[in-house]
Amino acid sequence: MLNTVISIFASIALVFAVISLITPLPGGLIVISFSLATLICVNSKAQSCVRYIRSKYSFVNRALNFIQRKIGSKVHFIRDALQRTEPNE
**Average pLDDT, stretch 8-14?**
84
Q: Is the pLDDT of residue 27 over 80?
A: no
pLDDT of the residue at 89 = 62
7: containing domain: 2-83
> Residue 30: which residues within 8 A CB-CB, separation 6 or more?
71
Q: Note whether residue 49 is domain-resident.
A: yes
Average pLDDT over residues 13-17: 83
> Is 88 part of a structural domain of the chain?
no
Q: How far apart are CA 60 and CA 84, in angstroms?
A: 15
Q: The whole model's pTM is what?
A: 0.74
Q: Is residue 43 part of a domain?
A: yes
Q: Angle at the Cα of 85 (from 82 to 88), degrees rounded to 5?
A: 135
Q: What is the pLDDT of residues 32-86, one digit of tens each?
A: 888 888 888 888 888 898 899 999 999 989 988 888 888 767 888 888 888 888 8
Is residue 89 included in any domain, yes or no?
no
